[in-house]
Amino acid sequence: MRGFSLLLWLVVSTAAAQEPLPGIAETTRAESTPPPPPTREQLRYMEGLRSAGRGVAQLKDAVSRVNSSKRDAQRLKQAARRLGGLCGTARGFMTAGRAKMQPTAYQDSTRLKARRLSLQVDSLIRSAPNCESSAARQPDSTAASLLTRIKAYDTALKDFRAALAVPHR
């Protein structure tokens, strides 16, 4: 009886090793195919995002300088002037980048996420003139307002990048 069960186990394990399960085989094939290369419009969107991201990085730097210099009045005054100047510079980068960011380059849910990201860039562009004019007088409230918009941008950027991500093997 013992020999029969060993023989049965050997036959079943050999058959299982030769014939993969249908669900596993399909996912393996789907993951092994590389994603299609990006289209020209998608490359243009990513180029615009890189330019807009440079402007957002300038805003983040200026906001962090204001937040870190709250105890020293002289440093706060310098940081506030820098915030006003960088708001203008950042607006130039974001405007140039936003012009290239057409959400129609993507399909389905990725298009929605690309649109949300574009709207967040638009929001930062609209707030830049106010930032330039009020940064020297009210650096704390200006930095707080910008920080709220930057966090919304970061969330939209994270969602967009997750939509573009290729599943890991």
φ/ψ (deg, to 5) at 34: -70, 150
pLDDT digits 0-9 by tens, 146-167: 999 999 999 999 999 999 885 5
Sorted by sequence, the CB contacts under 8 Å of residue 70 that are 6+ apart come out as 76, 140
Query: Taking the model in full, what pTM does it have?
Result: 0.76
Model confidence band, residue 89 (pLDDT cutoffs 50, 70, 90): very high
Question: Residue 28 carries which side chain, given as an amino acid letter?
Answer: T
Sorted by sequence, the CB contacts under 8 Å of residue 21 that are 6+ apart come out as none
pLDDT digits 0-9 by tens, 3-40: 555 444 545 555 455 555 555 555 555 566 777 888 99
* pLDDT at 29 (0 to 100): 52
Q: DSSP secondary-structure letter at 153?
A: H
* pLDDT at 119 (0 to 100): 97
